[in-house]
Amino acid sequence: MTVFTSAGTTLALSAAAPANYNEAGYEALTFTAIGEISDLGDIPSRVYDIVTWRNIANRGDSKAKGGYTLGTQTITVGIDPDDAGQALVDVATKSDGTYSVKISNPNLGDIYGRALVMGGTRNYGDANTIATRQITLEYTIVSQTEDGLVIDAPD
């Protein structure tokens, strides 16, 4: 059994959308890394809603997959006023635009998607803690025929 840690994982943003929603399309973009990340939170993935109905003739629930969401990711970072990635987060938080996201793990590969940058709370803690902020990303589909999520796992 081989398992991996999150060590070495980076997260980056781009204000641009890829020409094509595939690995090559995303790799053509210029991304800005967000520094001082201590927790990446939940990584985006399809999560389906459950649709249930009960036929009164047989009393039991029938179930089917309904729509899906790509999820919400809440990231914790140590506040660094000089970090270009955190500055881009501030710009993106004030924007209604959707940003391209790249999550790179040296062992598990890259994940790309499109998300709204929702901002988040700040926590200055006490004298013995790092001042942190939360950054919330709301992943969104790119069209009615594709979700724009690309998972590039290593061979």
| Domain harbouring 52, CATH code | 4.10.410
Per the structure, how many domains does the chain have? 1
- Residue 41 placed within a domain: yes
Residue 29, Cβ density class (10 Å: 0-12 exposed, 13-18 middle, ≥19 buried) = middle
Domain that holds residue 59: 10-152
- Residue 120 placed within a domain: yes
Mean pLDDT score across all residues of the chain: 95
- Residue 69 placed within a domain: yes
pTM score, two decimals? Answer: 0.91
- Residue 5 placed within a domain: no
- Residue 1 placed within a domain: no
Among candidate residues 124, 129, 10, 118, the one with its CA nearest the CA of residue 74:
118
pLDDT digits (tens, 9 = 90+) for 59-89: 899 999 999 999 999 999 999 999 999 999 9
- Residue 4 placed within a domain: no
- Residue 114 placed within a domain: yes
